[in-house]
Structure 1
C-alpha cells in the first residue's frame, strides 16, 4: 500500500510559514494538517482534535515519558508538542501530513522521524525579513534585533534540511513545495518499498 509523507515546513520567525502552509492546504485540500497537543486551556471557538489536543500537564508528561511525541517545548508556562500516533496513522493510510513548526522543533522531529521530508522556508533577504517583522508593529527595536540575530542563527541550520524554498511570493513558494512533494513520491526507494511484492517477478523478467 502506498505510504503517505510527513512534510515538515520550518524556518525563522517572520518568514511566513503559517501563511504559506494555509495557502498550500487550499491548493492541496487532500493534505492533512498535523494538530498539536497542549496543556493550555481551550479558547472560545476552539475544538478538540481540530485546533489542539488538550491535555492536562500530567497527561502531557506521560506522553513525553512513553515517547508519544515527535517533539515538544514549553512556552509561557504551557507545554506544546506533536503527537506521534496521529502522524503515523495518517501516513499508514496513504495520506500526506504537513507539520508547520519552528527550527528547534523541526530538528527534534528529524531525530525522532528521520524519514520525513524537511523543507526550510527562506526569506528573499534578511532586509526583507526585518521589514516583515517590523511591519507587525508589535515589537520594539531591541526585540526586532534579537529576532534577526536568532533568524541568522537558524538560517545557518539549513544544512539539516532536505530542501530550501524562498518565500518571495506565496503562490510560487507553494508551487515549489507541491513539486517537492510530487518528487518525493517518485523517489526510487519509496517506489521499491511499495512494489516490494513484485520485485521477484521484475527480476525474473
Structure 2
C-alpha cells in the first residue's frame, strides 16, 4: 500500500516547525522529508537531520542533474526536495511529510496529485511580527522582508486542502494530528489497505 504524502506550508514564524515536531512525536508512522538548502545552519541544527546543508555550486549541480522534485529560492536561499528518495518512501508505504513553501507545493502536486496540503496561518500579522522579533535571530530589515513575504504567501492558502490557524499551540497540534488521521481514512487509502474487504462489498 502506498504511503501518504503530506505537504505543510506556512509563512516564517507561524509555528510550522514546532507543530511538525509535535506531530512526529505523536505519530511514529509519519516521517519527515529532509530537504536540501543553501542557507547556513541555525544554532542546534545538524546536517542530515533538519536539512542537507550544501553550498550553491553543489545545489545547482544536483538541480541540473534532475535530482530534485521541486526547488525554490526563498529569502535569498535555495531549498529542494529529493525526487528519487521521496518516490521510494511513498512506494514503500511510508507516510512522509514535506515542509515547503507554496511554490514548492505547486510543483509537488504535479508529481503527487494525491498529496494532502496543509497551510498553517498565524492568528494575525501583528502576532506574526511579535513571534519573529521574539526569536532574536534576525535584523529589523530581515523581519520586515519576512512580513512582506508572508502577505504574499498567505494569499495562496486556497490552494491547500486544510487550513490550521495557530493561535493556541496545543489546539493547532490536535488539528494537525486530526488531518493526518483523516487522510488515512480516505476511501482510496482504505481500499488499498483492505482490498479483499472492499472487493467483497463490490461483488454482485
| TM beyond 0.5 | yes
Quote the offset at 1:166 in angstroms: 1.0
Quote the offset at 1:62 in angstroms: 5.3
Which residue in the other structure is 2:16 paired with? 17
Quote the offset at 1:40 in angstroms: 7.6
Q: Aligned equivalents of 1:77 and 1:145: distance in 2?
A: 14
Decide whether the 8 Å contact of 2:72 with 2:103 is kept in 1: no
Which residue in the other structure is 2:163 paired with? 164
Matched residue count = 203
TM-score (norm 2): 0.80
**Which residues of 2 match residues 191-202 of structure 1 at below 5 A?**
191-195=190-194, 201-202=200-201
**Which residues of 2 match residues 6-155 of structure 1 at below 5 A?**
6-38=5-37, 46=46, 49-53=48-52, 60-61=59-60, 63-65=62-64, 67-74=66-73, 79-155=78-154
DSSP-derived class of the 1:204 partner: coil
Q: Aligned equivalents of 1:197 and 1:56: distance in 2?
A: 50
Q: Per-residue CA shift, 1:124-159, capped at 9, x if unaligned?
A: 112111111122234444443332222111111001
TM-score (norm 1): 0.80
Task: Flag structure 1 segments of 5+ consecutive residues without an equivalent.
Answer: none
Decide whether the 8 Å contact of 1:23 with 1:170 is kept in 2: no
Decide whether the 8 Å contact of 1:120 with 1:161 is kept in 2: yes
Decide whether the 8 Å contact of 1:91 with 1:97 is kept in 2: yes
Q: Per-residue CA shift, 1:146-186, capped at 9, x if unaligned?
A: 32222111111001111100111222212111111111111
Assess, with a 3 A threshold, how the Cα gap between structure 1 residues 168 and 57 changes in structure 2: closer, same or farther.
closer
Which residue in the other structure is 1:182 paired with? 181
Task: Flag structure 2 segments of 5+ consecutive residues without an equivalent.
Answer: none
